[in-house]
């Protein structure tokens, strides 16, 4: 993957409207470093939430390229400018991987290994919507950093 930004998603996205939005932002992001997405298999639930988090966390960590940003409800609550500054600092060091966890979120080890843990909203978002918000905020942040007239 030669793109500067990577998105890891646990479980295959299913919503057509969300995929259309992600496709649109993916196209826009090409001129700003590019973004590639990879789906990580969900862990089968057998009654143990922690086992699910661990299994998905191991697969996520194995797929990370560069700096890891966990998107998690326990993360830092950043405004757009602070998110842009975080993205800028991390991209200076190389590729950046954003990880959206599964239905039960990230395991503690994945959050521990992350360069940053960020929450996209104080509201609970389903994974499809969180994915769209991530792509939009990544695009917004990069246009802000590059001085393009998207963010005002």
CATH number at residue 109: 3.40.1280.10
Burial class (CB in 10 A: 0-12, 13-18, 19+), 48: exposed
**pLDDT tens-digit profile of 83-94?**
999 999 999 999
CB 89 within 8 A of CB 119: no
Q: Is 85 part of any domain?
A: yes
Is residue 109 situated within a structural domain? yes
Give mean pLDDT in consecutive 10-residue pieces for the chain, a chain of 152 residues: 83 95 97 95 95 97 97 94 96 96 94 96 91 97 91 58
100 found inside a domain: yes
Confidence at residue 1, expressed as pLDDT on a 0 to 100 scale: 40
Into how many domains does the chain fold? Answer: 1
Q: Flag whether 151 is in a domain.
A: no
Answer whether residue 152 is part of any domain. no
Q: Which domain holds residue 73?
A: 5-146
What pLDDT digit, counting tens, does each position of 41-55 carry?
999 999 999 999 999
């Amino acid at each position: 993957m030669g793109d500067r930004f990577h998105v890891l998603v646990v479980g295959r996205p299913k919503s057509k409207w969300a995929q259309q939005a992600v496709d649109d932002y993916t196209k826009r992001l090409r001129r700003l470093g590019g973004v590639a997405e990879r789906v990580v298999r969900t862990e089968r639930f057998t009654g143990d939430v922690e086992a699910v988090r661990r299994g998905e966390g191991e697969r996520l960590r194995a797929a990370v390229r560069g700096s890891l940003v966990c998107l998690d409800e326990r993360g830092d609550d950043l405004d757009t400018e602070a998110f842009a500054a975080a993205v800028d600092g991390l991209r200076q060091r190389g590729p950046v991987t954003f990880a959206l966890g599964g239905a039960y979120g990230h395991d503690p080890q994945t959050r521990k290994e992350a360069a940053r843990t960020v929450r996209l909203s104080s509201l609970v978002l389903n994974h499809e919507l969180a994915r769209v918000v991530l792509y939009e905020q990544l695009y917004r942040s990069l246009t802000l950093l590059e001085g393009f007239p998207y963010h005002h």
